[in-house]
Structure 1
Amino acid sequence: MIIGVDVGTSVTKASLLDREGSAMVTHSVRSTLRRAPGGRVEQDLDEVVDSVVRVVRQVVTEAERERQPIEALAITGQGDGLWLRDEQGDQVGPALSWLDARASGVMDRWAETGVLRQVYRLTGSGMFSGSAGPLLAHLAEHDPDRLRRAAVAGYCVDAIVQRFTGEITVDASDASLPFLDVAARTYSERAIAAAGLSGYRELLADPAPLGKLFALSGRAAKQLGLPSGLPVSAGPFDLPACAFGAGIREPGDGTLVIGTTLGCQVLRDEVDFDPDGEAAGMWLATPQPQRYLSVMPAMVGTANLDWVLRTVGAGIEELEPLLGGSRPGAGGVSALSFLSNSGERAPFVEPYARGQFTGLSLETTPADLVRAMCEAVAYAARHNLETAGLTGEVSACGGGARSAAWSQIFADVLGRPLHVPHEEGVGARGAAMTAWDSLGEPVDRQRWAQARRVVQPHPSAVEFYERGYREYLDSIDRARPLWRQRPTD
């Protein structure tokens, strides 16, 4: 057995996983996001670590009751943001969440001066205000003393690993955005210099080698109720962990994480991007040699569903009948799903992208509005997956995949079967899979992939949505010049 831990933005989960990929027991606890003026979104590292201790201890208690030996502790969690620590692993100020927007001014300046384009040409990664690069630059300008007090500028997963093992490290997946040469698994010094951050290069821990395991310290072992020296696996972070946990196996396979936003990922056997193309998306190193993830992290997802349900006065429990009450095409209503205040970042970058409904009439029903928005999000998923290089099988996970009706729309729009794992904790699954690889005891990936339900596309709907998708792309092309006319204050 392995204990897989997924430290999300608002929930920490721990699962006791067997070699079939099944969770024997799962416990979770909520974390706190602290929001403040100026777009600040922060977390307290001590509270996050305590959340891990609480859920792991609960799992350990049940494992002992069932006499199940624990082989390793596998940790994954949220990526991006900035988690500053000292040599002992104590936080140097609160952690800056990936949702933090204080560096928006840096992003605007970098867009105007060409820094974003320079970094993209060197690494293939498009930055956003919650990624480590602009957050570091913001602190260098506004709080340099805080950076002087820090020994490491890392991420959530490696912050927890430092507390539990005493090691300063980082997984290559976390380090990928924005300064890693992903193929070489080393930092691009030119990209760091382009961002004006060479003076803070020593804060960036070098990525851990493939297959690296760490040892649980005696102090952490007492806290967690685990043996001292137990192997600890650090990463990959939640996006790639979900990809592997959901069943991605061969180059060209894709995974769709239908969460608050969409995580659209395709496994590739080489890093291949157009340095003069859209500075969107990112390339991630993975736990497998010569395997990379082309990732398009769109800003649309279940947040769109929540909004449209609120707008029509419905609850999530009414989603299935609402989608069933409107046929494909939503009674002539179509939508663009760009509702985020931050606009869109994949597969194109438009900070002022905004949503719309068209084709409304007095006969339009609440069900039509809900279906139109769900179809628009599915079109966005196809746009992102195809841009990332999708040619193979598609798996899906996240809260949106729980809906049978919405899963059917995704399958029909993609024109491919959608494979949805029975186990919802795919992040912990992916982390455990990585840990077993590092222990030299790889699991049967084919068997793990069989534990999924398959949503088959309906041929007539596929044909209909093929036309709808082309119209969706045309609508974006018409809207982009309008979005670039920035609103006046």
Structure 2
Amino acid sequence: MIIGVDIGTSLTKAVVFDRSGVSIAEASTPSEVRHLPGGRVEQDLDQVVGTVATVVREVAAAIDGPVTALALTGQGDGVWLRDEDGRAVRPAISWLDGRANALLAKWQADGVTREVFRRTGSGMFPGCAAAILSYLDEHEPESLDRAVVAGYCVDAVAQRLTGEITVDVSDASLPFLDPATRQYDERAIAACGLSHRRGLLAEPARPKSVFHLNAHGAELLGLPQGLPVTAGPFDLVASAIGAGVRKPGDGILIAGTTLACQVLTDNAEFNADGEPAGMFLSTPAIGEFLHAMPAMVGTASIDWVCRLLGIEVPQIGALLAESVPGAHGVRALPFLSASGERAPFVDAAARAQFSGLSLEHGRADLVRALCESIAYAARHCLEAAGLSGRLYACGGGVRSAEWTQIFADVLGRPIVIPSDPGVGARGAVLVAAESLGEPFDVEVWASNSRTVEFVPENVEFYQGGYADYQASLAAARGLWRL
């Protein structure tokens, strides 16, 4: 009985699976996300740890039998500063944060982002650790002075539960890790002006590392002291594993708050002269990587249009059905995040737009144009990541049959969707079982899925729509300003 815990940005979820990969108990509770002036987005570590305790206690009480391990995954990027006891020295800074927008733009102009990308294959964006740490070093150095470790969500929770200061190699991948050696690239750190803060970076844990609940963690969760705990990989990698991505060339589309597109590869080589965006994420398997293009567009854009139009999210499917492919001529660019875009290009000034509107158009056309534009962004990302094999998908966005069909038609390929939505927790549990020496049958777990086929005539139509999207994007990029 391994409890998988997925600590998302706005929701923490715990799931217990049977040996065939079917969930037998689950619980969820929201986390608080503070949106502050100046594009700042923060979270309280104590509150997040409290959500973990809530869901773990709930599922542990619902199962018949002892808990044998705890498998953690969760949001990545951002900066979670802690002291030696795991206490936050300041509120955690989210990956959604935009306070370093201007700094990132300066780094792009000065060639810093290009240099880091050339060394690690990772593009930087305002919410990544490098930009946030550099911003804090200039504007809030006392916080860095008080901290012992600058880590991420999963390792912050793990420290509170086990007392261990660690980081999974997947979290450490962006932006300082050399994917081939799984070691930090000191020149990349120096390029960001952070060599004097190098001591804040925990060394990546070895593959199959297992920690154990200490007395505090046991009391917090109501579980036995000494219970095995695994801390990672973080949610992008865990979701790929949980969905069934196994072969190089296979990919996954995570239609969540953001649009995370990833392709599995056994080759860490990259075009050092290409667009400095995306990242190579190390996986639990040495020699395998996920080439990730985590765009900032996603279901947050759908939430925005629902608020704007005064509708509920469940109405989206019906509105999509009211319009037609091409949204009666309405086009959109979906870049609504205050921190711009991070894949497959990086631009803190990226902003959304609608065009082709007239008095004849209604809200169904606006909704469809936005959903189509997000699907075009997914195609852009997956092409940049090198998708050549099977495509899996998960996240809140694929709960809409109508929107999932748009994704399949725009991408021109079938989409495999796991029947259980908790794929992040699934992946964390599979990794934990492997680390404990009692692996589950991954093929059996991956068999619980359905496939959405594309409609050939829609694929042909969307070829032209994608070309128009690319042209609109190229024109807009010359106009964006911070």
The match for 1:392 is 389
Which of 106, 122, 125 pairs up with 1:125? 122
Q: Assess if the C-alpha contact under 8 Å between 1:335 and 1:357 holds in 2.
A: yes
1:181 correspondence with 2:172? no
1:199 correspondence with 2:196? yes
The match for 1:434 is 431
Alignment of 1:245-264 (within 5 A): 245-264=242-261
Change (3 A) 1:20 1:123: same
Which of 151, 155, 163 pairs up with 1:154? 151
Q: Distance in 2 between matches of 1:34 and 1:354?
A: 22
Q: Assess if the C-alpha contact under 8 Å between 1:154 and 1:205 holds in 2.
A: yes
Q: Distance in 1 between matches of 2:62 and 2:330?
A: 51
Q: Distance in 2 between matches of 1:36 and 1:350?
A: 21
Q: Distance in 2 between matches of 1:470 and 1:444?
A: 42
The match for 2:61 is 61
Q: In the TM superposition, what is the alpha-carbon distance from 1:123 to its structure 2 partner?
A: 0.8
Which residue identity does 1:407 align to in structure 2?
A: T
Secondary structure (helix, strand or coil) at the match of 1:84 reads strand
Bigger shift: 399-408 or 106-115? 106-115
Bigger shift: 127-136 or 365-374? 365-374
Secondary structure (helix, strand or coil) at the match of 2:15 reads strand
Alignment of 1:78-157 (within 5 A): 78-157=75-154
Which runs of 5 or more structure 2 residues have no equivalent in the other structure? none
Q: In the TM superposition, what is the alpha-carbon distance from 1:413 to its structure 2 partner?
A: 0.9
Change (3 A) 1:100 1:313: closer
The match for 1:42 is 42
Alignment of 1:271-286 (within 5 A): 271-286=268-283
Q: Assess if the C-alpha contact under 8 Å between 1:235 and 1:431 holds in 2.
A: yes
TM-score, normalised with respect to structure 2:
0.96
Q: Assess if the C-alpha contact under 8 Å between 2:297 and 2:374 holds in 1.
A: yes
Which residue identity does 1:59 align to in structure 2?
A: V
The match for 1:15 is 15
Q: In the TM superposition, what is the alpha-carbon distance from 1:203 to its structure 2 partner?
A: 1.1
Change (3 A) 1:35 1:471: closer
Q: In the TM superposition, what is the alpha-carbon distance from 1:15 to its structure 2 partner?
A: 1.1
Q: Assess if the C-alpha contact under 8 Å between 2:101 and 2:348 holds in 1.
A: no
**Aligned pairs, number:** 482
Secondary structure (helix, strand or coil) at the match of 1:178 reads coil
Q: In the TM superposition, what is the alpha-carbon distance from 1:353 to its structure 2 partner?
A: 2.7
Secondary structure (helix, strand or coil) at the match of 1:177 reads coil
Q: Assess if the C-alpha contact under 8 Å between 2:70 and 2:228 holds in 1.
A: yes
Change (3 A) 1:477 1:144: closer
Q: Distance in 1 between matches of 2:78 and 2:406?
A: 33
Q: Assess if the C-alpha contact under 8 Å between 2:105 and 2:347 holds in 1.
A: no
Q: Distance in 2 between matches of 1:149 and 1:350?
A: 32
The match for 1:352 is 349
Bigger shift: 174-183 or 34-43? 34-43
The match for 2:467 is 470
Q: In the TM superposition, what is the alpha-carbon distance from 1:379 to its structure 2 partner?
A: 0.9
Q: Assess if the C-alpha contact under 8 Å between 1:379 and 1:413 holds in 2.
A: yes
Which residue identity does 2:150 align to in structure 1?
A: A
Q: Deviations over 1:190-225 (max 9, x none)?
A: 101111111111111110011111112133223222
The runs of 4+ residues in structure 1 deviating greater than 6 Å are none
Change (3 A) 1:364 1:429: same
Change (3 A) 1:38 1:307: closer
The match for 1:24 is 24
Q: Distance in 1 between matches of 2:92 and 2:347?
A: 27
Q: Assess if the C-alpha contact under 8 Å between 2:80 and 2:91 holds in 1.
A: yes
Q: Assess if the C-alpha contact under 8 Å between 2:104 and 2:348 holds in 1.
A: no
Which of 255, 262, 265 pairs up with 1:265? 262
TM-score, normalised with respect to structure 1:
0.95
Change (3 A) 1:37 1:334: closer
Q: In the TM superposition, what is the alpha-carbon distance from 1:312 to its structure 2 partner?
A: 4.0
Q: Distance in 1 between matches of 2:422 and 2:2?
A: 14
Which of 227, 230, 235 pairs up with 1:233? 230
Q: Deviations over 1:227-260 (max 9, x none)?
A: 2221111101111111111221111111111112
Q: Assess if the C-alpha contact under 8 Å between 1:33 and 1:43 holds in 2.
A: yes
Q: In the TM superposition, what is the alpha-carbon distance from 1:332 to its structure 2 partner?
A: 2.5
Secondary structure (helix, strand or coil) at the match of 2:275 reads coil
RMSD: 1.7
Q: Distance in 1 between matches of 2:259 and 2:104?
A: 22
Bigger shift: 449-458 or 468-477? 468-477
Q: Deviations over 1:116-165 (max 9, x none)?
A: 11111111111111111111112221222222221111111111111111
Which of 438, 454, 458 pairs up with 1:457? 454
Change (3 A) 1:321 1:219: closer
Q: Deviations over 1:34-61 (max 9, x none)?
A: 3333333222212211221121111111
Which of 413, 416, 422 pairs up with 2:413? 416
Q: Assess if the C-alpha contact under 8 Å between 1:245 and 1:429 holds in 2.
A: yes
Which runs of 5 or more structure 1 residues have no equivalent in the other structure? none
Q: Distance in 1 between matches of 2:31 and 2:308?
A: 28
Q: Assess if the C-alpha contact under 8 Å between 1:2 and 1:18 holds in 2.
A: no
Secondary structure (helix, strand or coil) at the match of 1:69 reads coil
Q: Assess if the C-alpha contact under 8 Å between 1:334 and 1:373 holds in 2.
A: yes
Which residue identity does 1:448 align to in structure 2?
A: W
Bigger shift: 356-365 or 283-292? 356-365
Change (3 A) 1:17 1:113: same
Bigger shift: 29-38 or 227-236? 29-38
Change (3 A) 1:36 1:387: same
Q: Deviations over 1:400-420 (max 9, x none)?
A: 110001001101111111111
Change (3 A) 1:223 1:306: closer
Q: Distance in 2 between matches of 1:6 and 1:242?
A: 10
Which residue identity does 2:43 align to in structure 1?
A: Q
Q: In the TM superposition, what is the alpha-carbon distance from 1:109 to its structure 2 partner?
A: 2.7
